[in-house]
Amino acid sequence: MSTFRLWAPDAKTVSLVVAGSAGDATHEMSAGRRGWWWVNVPSAKHGTDYAFVLDGGTEELPDPRSVWQPAGVHGRSRLVDHATFHWSDASWRGIALAGSVLYELHVGTFTPEGTFDAAIGRLDHLAELGIDAVELLPVNAFPGHHGWGYDGVGLFAVHEPYGGPEGLKRFVDAAHARGIGVIMDVVYNHLGPDGNYLGQFGPYFTDRYITPWGPAVNLDAPGSDEVRAFILDSALSWLRDFHCDGLRLDAVHAFQDSRALHLLEEIAESVHRLGAQMRRPLFVVAESDLNDPKLVVAPEAGGYGLDGQWCDDAHHALWATLSGERQGYYVDFGSISTLAHALTQGFVHEGGYSTFRGRSHGRPMPPTTPAYRFVTFLQNHDQIGNRAVGDRSSAQLSDGLLRIGAALLLTSALTPMLFMGEEWGAHTPWQYFTDHLAPGLGDAVREGRRAEFAEHGWGPDDVPDPQDPATFERSKLDWSEPTRPGHGSLLDWHRRLIGLRRKLPALTDPAWASVECTFDEEARWLVVRRGDVAIVVNLASQRQTVPLDGVPFDAPAASAPGFTYMPGRVELDGESVVITRLLPPAG
């Protein structure tokens, strides 16, 4: 027997339509407390299809808490009994964010097939690379076949074209078998416009605030208790029912929450409580552009207690230094001094003036905050896909600069994250693609994209059409590339760097005080000290000698041959990096 429950506080009647071998059966639901309706159906079990009908209408609505939408976001829901899946990860004890190397992965373009099962076939590659956890771009149900996933409307359901809930479980189980954790990217700041039925059930949205996506999710207006419970239950379901190890919260700066207990603190507290119950670490990382330490400061010190946050400043500093780009939000970045600041403190904007914003921005992170709470990257889905043609760093940087970028990222005190294919310098672009089926929506997205980049000099024919299936197909990884000489060599470089991060304790030391930078802006060299390890970088095009405070006795990794090291200096080719170990000071 299954019990069906639905929150519909404004409904006068609610009916449940259940599919059966003899046809559909309608069950009238009983009103409970605080807008909840319920009914027991003895015949319903795992695999039973169902839908709700409000106030005697004719429109069937999918369950807002549905885990399975086999016919898409507009179709009937299907019951899932999580006990029917046979997990093999009982010995899995989880992973911690501290010390980990992350890997951002989009299921639909990671393999030609674009499914969880196909992705399982590439997990050995990630294990050999040394990845600790994959971060899946959103896999909750969204309209159409393919897309980035950030316009999802089913916050509990797993996108059917990827393999549905069973496919996700198989993927997580297989990842754990290889010692790899899984982080789920979740979007709670908005829902997509197509297939979003939540507003018909109750006050899930409020017009108190206006966001870039329309009315805000109701976090503090009347009825918000159940809306917040809906979000919390969704968050915990990915960890409890699908065995994921962490969450990445999308754009939390868009949350509009005036309550004394902020939703972020409530999410962190709930996740940590579940982790204690499950006896393995569970963590929450947020994306925010506020540069506010409050996200990761402990609640007893006035913060929200999240485990980490994305650090765009560190990305901007690294990318602008390597690429020379200065437009848009890169305007305050690009100098080696700014890069050194990011590597030693995380935030660049700490309350000073932001030219891009035209105002002061951010505040300093307390120096006692461990550096691993910052997740940073040279590439990610936004920093590639939101470029006009989705070109990767491999299309912009020389092989030498790619290797320098990898070395600075993977030896940093911050938690490093790679974007799929970055490890071999993938030449396939990763473009903005959609599959909107609602009338007019695809046209609006296409024209909006063209108008956005027209302001920067791009012609309409230069910007890929998001709705064209070819845009999606172009964005899939080419798995023949890693076997080719240039790509294979870069892949080996990433493996060596991740191996060093495991081997040399100084490279996972989370204390900011353990990071020191010296540099010469004009000569374009940089030395990053991590305890007894020095990362010596020559950004100039010509060979030069870089002064070094210490005596190197070993060079476990170098991006180019022909370097020499001696007391007090390292000589190396242009656009290259040498990682050295130093003798302890005498006495």
Catalytic residues: 250, 287
Please check if 314 is assigned to a binding site. yes
Please check if 33 is assigned to a binding site. no
Please check if 381 is assigned to a binding site. yes
Please check if 183 is assigned to a binding site. no
Q: Are 254 and 211 in contact (CB under 8 A)?
A: yes
Please check if 456 is assigned to a binding site. no
Please check if 250 is assigned to a binding site. yes
Please check if 313 is assigned to a binding site. yes
Please check if 316 is assigned to a binding site. yes
Q: How far apart are CA 542 and CA 322, in angstroms?
A: 15
Burial of 500 (0-12, 13-18, 19+ CB in 10 A): buried
Please check if 462 is assigned to a binding site. no
Q: How far apart are CA 8 and CA 76, in angstroms?
A: 18
Please check if 382 is assigned to a binding site. yes
61 secondary structure, DSSP code: B
Q: How far apart are CA 393 and CA 321, in angstroms?
A: 13
Q: Which region holds residue 346: left if phi is over 0, alpha if psi is between -120 and 50, else beta?
A: left
Torsion angle in degrees (nearest 10) through CA of 92, 93, 98, 104 = 20
Q: How far apart are CA 204 and CA 227, in angstroms?
A: 6
* HEC profile of 171-205: HHHHHHHCCCEEEEEECCCCCCCCCCCHHHHCCCE
- Residue from 510, 509, 512 nearest 532 by CA: 509
Which structure tokens are listed for 4? 């069906």
> Which H/E stretch holds residue 44?
none
Q: How far apart are CA 228 and CA 224, in angstroms?
A: 6
Q: What residues pair up with 50 in beta bridges, in sequence order?
A: 18, 77
Q: How far apart are CA 185 and CA 262, in angstroms?
A: 20
Please check if 315 is assigned to a binding site. yes
- Residue from 448, 445, 450, 464 nearest 384 by CA: 464
Please check if 385 is assigned to a binding site. yes
Annotation: binding site for substrate: 248-253, 312-316, 381-386
> From the annotation, which residues make up the binding site?
248-253, 312-316, 381-386
